């Protein structure tokens, strides 16, 4: 596999439906168009360089969120309307712009809601029950819920009973089941294993919080890059109703672009979460906080450096996207265009969400 140009000169498999788009034109795919410097927060920090927002549809988001609340109630979450104040239907609509099918958008809405529930209830928020020392065994059960282990007589019965008693585990299993019903086994495993890599990073954060030995910024960032919105972005083709073939998805150049996009998007999360993260009884790791601790500088100075890092990651994605425009794969172009849209939608969601104000 020496060159992406050698791969897949025409659509195949589940992605065949993408052929109706033909090969997207240069104007549609231009990596130079559709980015802007955007103010955020109270406007005192430097602007963030992000793709422009491609879709805001309040009615569609409300339809997805209505279905999501009913699903959360079925999973056993108490006060699902309050829990789903996360507006994950709106997140799906903002970030997955190549479909308006509610069932397809629910793939992203359900899994993002379940991931956020695990993050809040297991990993991050001590007021909601997160206990750093209990996180690793909780995540081990989460993996078993998402990717069922082989049957093992009465031991499986005990496992299933435990999963059924925890809304987070029910939600993760149900979200994966919805994905499996509308995509392929390859994509399901891709999503599972990107989630499990994310869980490893959560374990590192828990150890740092439990011991009080917080990492330097470089170590935090290395860990954070396996816990980013890359995991959410693995759903781009599944939600869109096609599949980016594995040889392209896992090509190092494509993976590097997706890693840059996912990291840039999660840096936005860190930037808007500084006050919330610092206020926790056991402060959450955050790029701004780690830079400030490393350098003995102010939060404002650490924020400016974090913005600079974000903007470089977005420009790296922009340049890499441009370099891959000549590759004759409609699925690849659609996926990278979807990645760009995800970054723009993710910025909009984070900077307008009550959670981060």
**pLDDT for the residue 18:** 34
Residue-number span of the structural domain to which 250 is assigned? 4-356
- Cα–Cα distance between 1 and 16 in angstroms, integer? 22
Structure confidence at residue 16 (pLDDT): 34
- How many domains would you assign to the chain? 1
Sole residue written with tokens 């994966």: 176
Per-residue pLDDT of the chain (357 residues; tens, 9 = 90+): 344 434 433 333 333 333 333 333 333 333 444 999 999 999 999 999 999 999 999 999 999 999 999 999 999 998 776 665 568 999 999 999 999 999 999 999 999 999 999 998 888 676 767 788 889 999 999 999 999 989 999 999 999 999 999 999 999 999 999 999 999 999 999 999 999 999 999 999 989 988 899 999 999 999 999 999 999 999 999 999 999 999 999 999 999 999 999 999 999 999 999 998 888 777 889 999 999 999 999 999 999 999 999 999 999 999 999 999 999 999 999 999 999 999 999 999 999 988 777
Q: Which residues contact 312 (CB under 8 A, 6 or more apart)?
A: none
Q: What's the CATH number where 243 sits?
A: 1.10.600.10
- Res 131: pLDDT: 81
Cα separation, 352 vs 41, in Å, equals: 9
Contact 171, 117 (CB under 8 A): yes
Burial (0-12, 13-18, 19+ Cβ within 10 Å), 123: buried
CA 344 to chain centre: 13
Task: Return the pLDDT at 284.
Answer: 85
Instruction: Give the C-alpha separation, 175 to 105, whole Å.
Output: 12
Four-residue CA torsion sign, 329, 2, 235, 258: negative
Q: Cα separation of 27 and 30, whole Å?
A: 5
């Amino acid at each position: 596999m020496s060159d992406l140009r050698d791969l897949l000169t025409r659509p195949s498999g589940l992605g065949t439906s993408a052929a109706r788009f033909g090969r997207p034109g240069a104007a549609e795919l231009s990596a130079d168009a559709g980015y802007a410097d955007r103010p955020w927060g109270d406007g005192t920090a430097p602007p963030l360089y992000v793709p422009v927002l491609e879709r805001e549809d309040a009615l569609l988001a409300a339809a997805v969120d209505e279905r999501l609340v009913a699903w959360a109630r079925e999973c056993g979450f108490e006060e699902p309307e309050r829990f789903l104040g996360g507006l994950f239907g709106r997140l799906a609509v903002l970030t997955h712009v190549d479909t308006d099918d509610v069932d397809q958008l629910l793939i992203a809405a359900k899994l993002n809601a379940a991931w956020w529930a695990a993050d809040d209830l297991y990993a991050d928020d001590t007021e909601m029950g997160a206990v750093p020392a209990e996180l690793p065994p909780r995540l081990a059960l989460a993996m078993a819920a998402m990717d069922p282990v082989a049957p093992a007589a009465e031991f499986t019965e005990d496992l299933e009973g435990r999963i059924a008693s925890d809304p987070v585990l029910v939600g993760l299993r149900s979200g994966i089941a919805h994905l499996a019903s509308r995509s392929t086994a390859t994509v399901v495993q891709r999503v599972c294993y990107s989630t499990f890599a994310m869980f490893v990073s959560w374990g590192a954060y828990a150890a740092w919080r439990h011991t009080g030995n917080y990492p330097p910024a470089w170590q935090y960032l290395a860990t954070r890059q396996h816990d980013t919105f890359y995991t959410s972005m693995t759903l781009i083709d599944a939600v869109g109703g096609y599949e980016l073939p594995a040889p392209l998805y896992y090509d190092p150049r494509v993976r590097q672009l997706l890693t840059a996009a996912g990291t840039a998007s999660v840096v936005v999360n860190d930037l808007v979460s500084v006050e919330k993260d610092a206020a926790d009884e056991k402060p959450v790791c955050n790029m701004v906080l780690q830079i400030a601790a490393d350098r003995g500088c102010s939060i404002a100075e650490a924020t400016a450096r974090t913005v600079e890092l974000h903007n470089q990651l977005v420009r790296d994605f922009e340049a890499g996207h441009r370099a891959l425009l000549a590759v004759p794969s409609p699925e690849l172009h659609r996926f990278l265009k979807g990645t760009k849209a995800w970054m723009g939608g993710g910025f909009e969601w984070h900077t307008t969400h009550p959670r981060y104000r």
